[in-house]
Amino acid sequence: MGTLTFYHNTKCSKSRTALAMLEERGLKPRIVEYLKTPLSAQELASLIAKLGMPAQQLVRKGEEIYKSRYAGRSLTDAEWIQAMAEHPILIERPILVKGAKAVIGRPPENVTKLL
């Protein structure tokens, strides 16, 4: 199957549901609790490349830090990546990575696209 990496926020119900779906299939991904172990800008850039989307699409716009510091601003990909590196709560979750591809688990069933 290949190595699976799951970027997880234990407080997020969608993240917990997606992880449970993987475990129900007998899969044991490497879990990265990105709020406890934040990703570097380089790691985020690699992850965004695997997702195949602009950095801004990975930003959670409902978070207070977004509303107070970033709402309405036009940033480059590098600036969005730096913002997420500094404030990992801004990263959409969960994210499942398999090889050179990744998906956001919203809805949680999206994680099955990589299986």
Pairwise CA distance, residues 59 & 77, whole Å: 11
Mean pLDDT computed over 2-17: 95
Query: Mind listing the pLDDT tens digit for each residue in 67-97?
Result: 999 999 999 999 999 999 999 999 999 999 9
What's residue 6's pLDDT? Answer: 98
pLDDT tier for residue 1 given thresholds of 50, 70 and 90: low
Band the pLDDT of 37: cuts 50, 70, 90: very high
For residue 2, pLDDT over 80 is answered with: no
What is the spatial distance between Cα 115 and Cα 97, in angstroms, rounded to a whole number? 10
Give the pair of three-digit tokens for residue 55: 């950095």
Give residue 4's identity as a one-letter amino acid code: L
Q: Is 4 helix (H, G, I), strand (E, B) or coil?
A: strand
For residue 107, say if its preceding peptide bond is cis, omega within 30 degrees of 0: yes
List Cβ neighbours of 85 (8 Å cut-off, separation of 6 or more). Answer: 38, 39, 40, 41, 44
Residues tagged active-site: 12
Please give the domain boundaries of the chain with CATH numbers for all domains: 4-114 (3.40.30.10)
Contact (Cβ atoms closer than 8 angstroms) between residue 45 and residue 70: no
Confidence class for position 54, pLDDT limits 50, 70, 90: very high
